[in-house]
Amino acid sequence: MSTSSDQVATLSGLSAAELRGAGELAARFPLTPNAEPATAASHAEIMGDLTFGVAHTDHMVRAAWTPQEGWHGHRTEAYGPLTLSPAAAVLHYGQEIFEGLKAYRHADGSVWTFRPGFNAARFAASARRLAMPPLPEEDFVGSLAALVAADERWVPDAEGSSLYLRPLMIATEPFLGVRAAHQMEYLVIASPVGPYFAHGFEPVSIWVAQDYHRVGPGGLGAAKTGGNYAASLLPQQDAYDKGFEQVCFLDAATSTQLEELGGMNVFVVDADGTVRTPALTGTILEGGTRSSILQLLRDAGRTVREETIVLSELLDQIRSGEVAETFACGTAAVITPIGRLAGEGFDVTVADGRPGPVTTELYTALTDIQLGRRADPHDWMYRIV
């Protein structure tokens, strides 16, 4: 596999300035309010103790697709269980895609989301790879706006908290033959969350999986689909059992190059200030946070390289001090310093196990933009409420 500085970002999506207003797009998903929303007491209890991905809000968004009708039945309704045939294709062949975004409460009470056009474009790209019908990008953004407007009381305002939005598409056709299904359902659910890692902005320890791969060349690695995460679960569990918080995967072709963690991209900061991340070779998910970090670094005039990162070279560079910091990033995890990198036969500490200055500066810049505390020159923030 070549060094791939020519393999640059493929997704950008519509910026906030190019999207129609949230009210207009949300109206595409009319609301039938939940007749039994959470009580004020249960809402207060949940919002007072936010852990990642546990709670859900009062509503969800839905739409359905068939070849005859296209996308139809757009609506916002009470959150609740789905009725699904046990023969539904998603349950057998994993024809499924999803996304992850957050809605942030700003100091003036307004609610915003970050680069929804990017996630809309990635959702459409994932759909194409999984032989599913792409959802029009403004319907995707409208669905987020409709859900956040219906569930506005669930957008927290505590530092480090947000309303996590989880759009997904599943193949619902009851058919056991192996082919692309002819019935789909699109859903969005939401969950008020605190930091993905309970300890917040503190370094995590990473186990590098050498016996397992997440994806292979020509596979689903560039798509956000459940199977890639399923492939990460056993190595992730092994990593936990060894006392590590996350697992890092190497490329399947040579088992020598860093790809990504179970659900996050990875970056390396050299002592000379250059920042590097594995190039998008088709086996790595193009993260919105990854893309935004690259832009912030370029804005700041730093040298940035998307290229092959060979594990053995990285270990030498960490030991010699040529590499000063490493960090992971994703919507859920934001930017998380990596303090320790270990695998069979090696165990190295990075930046003395503390958050490094470049990692900290990026975390501050990104979260300041997301929380409306600094200028947003690329029109990343999209106002919903």
In whole angstroms, how close is the CB of 332 to ligand COI at the nearest point? Answer: 3
Instruction: Name residue, tokens 């009708």.
Output: 69
Interior CA angle at 293 toward 374 and 299, to 5°?
65
How many other C-beta atoms are found inside a 10 Å radius of the C-beta of residue 310? 17
Backbone angles phi, psi at 71, to 5 degrees: -75, 130
Q: Which stretch binds ligand COI (CB under 6 A): 84-92, 144-152, 187-195, 330-338?
A: 330-338
Is residue 226 close enough to count as binding ligand COI by CB under 6 A? Answer: no
Tell me the residue number closest to ligand COI, measured at CB: 100
Asked if 224 and 126 count as a contact pair (C-beta separation under 8 A), the reply is yes
Q: Which of residues 256-295 bind ligand COI (CB under 6 A)?
A: 263
- Which range of residues in 9-17, 132-140, 204-212, 324-332 is near ligand COI by CB under 6 A? 324-332
- Exposed, middle or buried, 141 (CB in 10 Å: 0-12/13-18/19+)? buried
Residue (332 or 381) nearer to ligand COI, CB: 332
Taking CA atoms, 381 is separated from 2, 22, 69, 172, 292, in Å, by: 35, 12, 33, 33, 12
- Please identify which residue in 120, 155, 250, 332 interacts with ligand COI, judged by CB under 6 A: 332
Token digits for 244?
């590590």
Select the residue interacting with ligand COI from 142, 330, 343, 355 (CB under 6 A): 330
Residue 295 CB burial class (10 angstroms; 0-12, 13-18, ≥19)? middle
Shortest separation between residue 289's beta carbon and ligand COI, angstroms: 7
Among 149-157, 291-299, 328-336, 364-372, which window interacts with ligand COI (CB under 6 A)? 328-336
Q: Which stretch binds ligand COI (CB under 6 A): 112-120, 207-215, 230-238, 325-333?
A: 325-333
Contact status: 165 vs ligand COI (CB under 6 A): no
Q: Binding residue for ligand COI (CB under 6 A) from 15, 66, 91, 100?
A: 100
Nearer CB in complex with ligand COI: 77/286: 286
Query: Which phi-psi region, left, alpha or beta, contains residue 276 (left: φ > 0; alpha: ψ -120 to 50)?
Result: beta
> In DSSP terms, which residues pair with 79 in a beta bridge?
none
Phi/psi at 206 (5° precision): -125, 135
Instruction: Kindly state whether residue 225 participates in binding ligand COI, applying the rule CB under 6 A.
Output: no
Comparing CB distances to ligand COI, the nearer of 116 and 263 is 263
Measured between alpha carbons, how far is 140 from 162 in angstroms, rounded to an integer? 19
Q: Does 216 bind ligand COI (CB under 6 A)?
A: no
Q: Which residues bind ligand COI (CB under 6 A)?
A: 100, 263, 330-332
